[in-house]
């Protein structure tokens, strides 16, 4: 399959981010180690999609599993960064609700044969809300140096990607109905968001805190 150069560049940035996280893995706090594994999993998911597509094999099912694993990783990452028991409880209640929704959707309105527009959108909404709350906590901690706090870079990157791409996930099924050339143009935005968010994650990995 032929993709625009921006796709390959965005994939390169993600790989570089994973490499930076891997080099600094021993010195990373637990939340960033979780992020590192999530990034590695995202690379593997793209690889599987690419391989299946090259042989004209149905590959939409991979995004279903990725949406589930992504929200699990993000929940545990954020819960490791907050001390408030109430927020931790809310995080895991939302996760439990999402898992129930995800299971139900596979047997009803969103089987593996179609794109996971609904559950992926709900996942992005959760991530935006979680990130905004954590960002507020970081900003209120006046004694920290914001530019050297990995939480700031990670939540900012998550907000940028989730908020910017949410409509792409919500309308993914409809976008599959347009021509491949037009679809590539639409996904230019997604690739740009991937590049920007992973640059933020890379900066987070480089923080000394």
Instruction: Report yes or no: 205 and 24 within 8 Å, Cβ to Cβ.
Output: yes
What average pLDDT does range 112-131 have in this prediction?
94
**H or E element: which one contains 66?**
helix 61-79
Half-sphere exposure of 73 (CA within 13 A, CB side): 18
Longest dimension (CA), the chain: 54
- Residue 173 confidence (pLDDT) above 80: no
Q: What residues contact 44, with CB distance under 8 A and at least 6 apart?
A: none
Q: How far apart are CA 40 and CA 19, in angstroms?
A: 9
pLDDT of residue 40: 98
Count how many domains the chain has.
1
Paired tokens of 163: 């908020």
Confidence at residue 140, expressed as pLDDT on a 0 to 100 scale: 82
Burial of 90 (C-beta count, 10 Å sphere; 0-12/13-18/19+): middle
123-166 pLDDT per residue, tens: 999 999 999 999 888 888 766 677 789 999 999 999 999 999 99
Q: Which residue has the higher pLDDT, 165 or 187?
A: 165
The token pair that represents 139 in the structure block: 């900003």
Sign of the Cα torsion 181, 51, 54, 73 reads negative
The total of other beta-carbon atoms located within 10 Å of residue 167's CB is: 13
pTM for the structure as a whole: 0.93
Domain that includes residue 166, residue range: 5-206
Task: Tell me the average pLDDT of the chain.
Answer: 91
Q: For residue range 2-11, list pLDDT tens digits in order.
A: 778 999 999 9
Determine what percent of the chain is predicted with pLDDT higher than 90: 75
Task: Give 142: exposed, middle or buried? Use CB within 10 Å, 0-12, 13-18, 19+.
Answer: exposed
pLDDT, tens digit, for every residue of 79-98? 999 888 999 999 999 999 99
Per-residue pLDDT at 168: 86
Q: Are 205 and 150 in contact (CB under 8 A)?
A: yes
């Amino acid at each position: 399959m032929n993709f625009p150069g921006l796709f390959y560049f965005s994939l390169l940035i993600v790989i570089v981010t994973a490499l930076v996280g891997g080099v600094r893995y021993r010195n990373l706090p637990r939340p960033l180690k979780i992020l590192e594994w999530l990034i590695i999993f995202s690379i593997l998911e793209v690889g599987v999609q690419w391989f299946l597509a090259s042989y004209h094999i149905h590959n939409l099912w991979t995004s279903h599993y990725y949406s589930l694993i992504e929200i699990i990783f993000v929940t545990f990452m954020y819960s490791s960064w907050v001390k408030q028991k109430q927020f931790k409880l809310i995080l895991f209640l939302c996760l439990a609700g999402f898992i129930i929704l995800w299971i139900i959707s596979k047997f009803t309105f969103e089987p593996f044969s179609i794109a996971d527009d609904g559950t992926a959108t709900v996942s992005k909404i959760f991530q935006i809300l979680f990130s905004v709350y954590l960002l507020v906590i970081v900003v209120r901690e006046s004694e920290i140096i914001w530019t050297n706090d990995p939480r700031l870079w990670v939540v900012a990157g998550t907000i940028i990607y989730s908020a910017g791409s949410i409509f792409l996930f919500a309308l993914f099924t409809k976008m599959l109905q347009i021509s491949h050339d037009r679809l590539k143009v639409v996904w230019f935005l997604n690739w740009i968001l991937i590049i920007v968010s992973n640059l933020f994650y890379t900066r987070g990995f480089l923080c000394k805190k």
